[in-house]
């Protein structure tokens, strides 16, 4: 397995062989799926309905419905976290390198996974698979054919599904449309602020 200890960040990531990343990601993915708490973890993650609000992640999916889309999103997010863990390992724990470019709806589901710390940490400790996520290192900009796509394709012999994997330019277009809808409802900056004081019913 090729490691990239002398490089950092994006350079370290791109020094890796996507097939080797894919092989390790597959192994990490297998360990999680075979863990005795995996189904409990899956149920806990995908039942995030009433206590999870998103204005710019899941809603980028056309005619999105969490009940219909949650299982597919869970599959994509688990694959992403497996790829991130593989890159993290192969770059000697380089957090910047491991923050792969990912479509926003899929990234949203990784947040729902990480919000199950009791199960997630236990599974990580039992399997030896690192948990990799750092919001301040995340970037918007996934596009078909990039390094993430190459690793994904090598690991699962298919393209990232277009319903959930939305390229950077289309993401910005959809974010602008969402902002227009949110503004009409009194939600500014795509849900980051509003002027509702709740004093009037």
Least confidently predicted of 25-39, 60-74, 118-132, 142-156? 60-74
> What dihedral angle (degrees, nearest 10) is formed by the CA atoms of 70, 73, 75, 80?
-150
pLDDT confidence of residue 189: 67
Distance (Å, whole) CA 148 – CA 201: 47
Q: How far is CA 84 from the centre of its chain?
A: 9
Report pLDDT digits (tens) over 167-177.
999 999 998 88
Report pLDDT digits (tens) over 150-163.
999 999 999 999 99
Contact residues for 182 (Cβ-Cβ < 8 A; gap 6+): 55, 188, 190, 191
- Tell which wins on pLDDT, 57 or 167: 167
The answer on pLDDT for 50 being more than 90 is no
> Would residue 63 be called left, alpha or beta, if left means φ above 0 and alpha means ψ between -120 and 50 degrees?
left
Going by pLDDT thresholds of 50, 70 and 90, the confidence category of residue 10 is confident
The answer on pLDDT for 36 being more than 60 is yes
Burial of 28 per CB tally in 10 Å (0-12, 13-18, 19+): buried
Report pLDDT digits (tens) over 95-138.
999 999 999 999 999 988 988 999 999 999 999 999 998 777 77
Distance (Å, whole) CA 130 – CA 31: 12
Kindly report the pTM of this predicted structure: 0.87
């Amino acid at each position: 397995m090729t490691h990239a200890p002398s490089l950092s960040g994006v350079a370290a990531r791109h020094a890796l062989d996507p097939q080797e990343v894919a092989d390790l990601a597959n192994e990490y993915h297998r360990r999680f799926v075979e863990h005795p708490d995996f189904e409990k973890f899956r149920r806990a993650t995908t039942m995030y309905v009433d206590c999870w609000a998103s204005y710019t992640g899941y809603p980028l999916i056309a005619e999105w419905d969490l009940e219909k889309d949650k299982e597919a999103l869970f599959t994509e997010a688990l694959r992403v976290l497996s790829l991130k863990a593989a890159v993290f390992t192969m770059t000697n724990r380089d957090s910047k390198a491991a923050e792969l470019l990912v479509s926003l709806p899929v990234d949203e589901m990784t947040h729902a996974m990480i919000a199950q710390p009791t199960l997630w940490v236990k599974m990580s400790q039992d399997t030896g698979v690192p948990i990799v996520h750092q919001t301040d290192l995340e970037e918007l900009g996934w596009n078909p054919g990039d390094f993430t796509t190459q690793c994904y394709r090598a690991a699962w012999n298919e393209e990232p599904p277009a319903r959930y994997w939305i390229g950077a330019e289309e993401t910005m277009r959809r974010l602008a449309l969402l902002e227009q809808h949110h503004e009409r409802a009194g939600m500014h900056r795509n849900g980051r602020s509003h002027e509702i004081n709740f004093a009037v019913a």
